[in-house]
Amino acid sequence: MSATEKPARSANIFDVARLAGVSHQTVSRVLNDTPGVRPATRQRVEQAITQLRYSPSPAARALVTRRTRMIGLIAPSSADYGPASIALHFSDAARSARYGVISVTAVDSDAASTRTLVESLVNQRVEAVVLIVDDVAVLDAIRALDVGVPVVAVSAGRSRGPLVVAIDQYRGARNAVRHLVDLGHRRIAHLAGPPSNPDAIERMRGWRDELAASQLIAAEPGQGDWSPASGYTFGAVLAKDTTVTAVFAGNDQMALGIVSALLAHGRRIPEDLSVVGFDDVPEAAFYVPPLTTVSQDFAALGALTMQRVIIALEEAASLSEPTPIPTRLVVRASTGEPRP
């Protein structure tokens, strides 16, 4: 194998289940020699194991069939509005389905730390793991995990799959920029979130593509960290550029910082500069002026995530790729037509 070639991914318990046409729990029963599996089914599973040369991980071997009705949830350690809302609404959906949730926070968002957290939850006998992804590298890493339970990822982006759920960040960003274009703006700046965050990547991609569709130039975006402080820094620079008439911020907190900086530098909103955010935090309607933003349905995302978990546990063979949940543009007083 050359240095540039990647080793083939080894088969996991879900590959065996898919080939045999059974659930991963049935594969686990065969691995653990648990009674109650029909001979024909057991034979199909054993043939699939042989065909795929499947070697189960220790966690998969330890998986037993007794239900615990517990789900592991791994969330980012930050208190940002989006991840916190996702965790809250998923926990509500799990309780409604009569499941308990064991929540842990990922202080480090790298692949190795994530794997350790997943395995620690499996050792606590959870039936599935839900991971709120805030780094694109982690999404690729968890696809190769073989821990004996389904791992459902909450992550935006073009890398989809039956166990990946998301709100349509890309389309939401395009709608926000389209609103500004329709108002007559031609120089629309953007302050992006962290460069490895999948939501930030999709929102920036939507901004670029909508400008391109309108034959408008996308200047180099600013780089923020979701905080009002990074928005204020960007807004202070933006206040000196009279050619820009609108700005699309990657989230409402950065939009708040931008608004504060613009007003501090004597710029009026929206007369001199229109501002659009993303998230529709509860405070957005009370910004001065009230903020035009993109609203996300976190309750629907929580329900969809729980639905994926249940299907993966009970009807794995019927899993299909879910459609991202649409967003809604909320127009308020922070946007208007550009002044001549």
CATH number at residue 56: 1.10.260.40
CATH code, 134: 3.40.50.2300
Last residue of a domain, one of 31, 46, 62: 62
The reply to whether 55 and 24 lie within a common domain is: yes
Query: 211 lies in which domain range?
Result: 169-295
269 found inside a domain: yes
User: Do 284 and 173 sit in the same domain of this protein?
Assistant: yes
> Do 178 and 158 belong together in one domain?
no
Chain-centroid distance of CA 87 in Å reads: 11
**Please, is 186 exposed, middle or buried when counting C-beta atoms within 10 Å of its C-beta (0-12, 13-18, 19+)?**
middle
pLDDT of res. 63:
47
Q: Is residue 334 part of a domain?
A: no
Query: Is residue 132 domain-shared with residue 147, that is, in the same domain?
Result: yes
Q: What tens-digit pLDDT sequence spans the chain (340 residues)?
A: 444 444 456 777 778 888 999 877 788 778 877 666 888 888 999 898 889 888 765 445 444 445 788 999 999 888 789 999 999 999 999 999 999 999 999 877 677 788 889 989 988 989 999 999 998 888 877 777 777 889 999 999 887 888 999 999 999 999 999 999 999 999 999 999 999 999 999 999 999 999 999 999 999 999 999 999 999 999 999 999 999 999 999 999 999 999 999 999 999 999 999 999 999 999 999 999 999 999 999 999 999 999 999 888 877 666 788 999 999 999 999 999 998 7
Residue 222's SS3 state is strand
Please check whether residue 338 lies inside any domain of the structure. Answer: no
Instruction: Please state, in angstroms and rounded to a whole number, the distance separating the CA atoms of residues 19 and 21.
Output: 6
Residue 337 placed within a domain: no
- For residues 199 and 186, what is the distance between their CA atoms, to the nearest angstrom? 25
Kind plus residue range of the DSSP H or E element containing 117? helix 111-123
Q: Is 242 in the same domain as 179?
A: yes
| Same-domain pairing of 27 and 86 | no
Residue finishing a domain among 24, 43, 62: 62
Q: Classify strands 188-192 and 246-249 as parallel, antiparallel or unpaired.
A: parallel
| Same domain, residue pair 104 and 163 | yes
For residue 70, what are the β-bridge partners?
100
Give bridge partners of residue 192 from the DSSP assignment: 223
Axis-axis angle for helices 111-123, 136-143 (nearest 10)? 50
Look at residue 336 and tell me if it is in a domain. Answer: no
Residues 182 and 224 in one domain: yes
94 with 193, same domain?
no
Q: Identify the pLDDT of residue 181.
A: 98
pLDDT value at residue 119: 87
176 with 285, same domain: the answer is yes
Residues 45 and 131 in one domain: no
Supply the DSSP string of 165-176, one letter for each residue: E-B-HHHHHHHH
* pLDDT confidence of residue 65: 44
* Residue 157 φ/ψ region, left for φ over 0, alpha for ψ in the -120 to 50 degree band, beta for the rest: left
Q: How many domains does the chain have?
A: 3
Beta strands in the chain (DSSP E): 70-76, 100-106, 128-132, 151-154, 164-165, 188-192, 222-223, 246-249, 274-276, 293-295, 328-330
Give domain status of residue 330, yes or no: no
In a domain, 195, yes or no: yes
The answer as to whether 331 is a domain residue is no
Same domain, 162 and 190: no
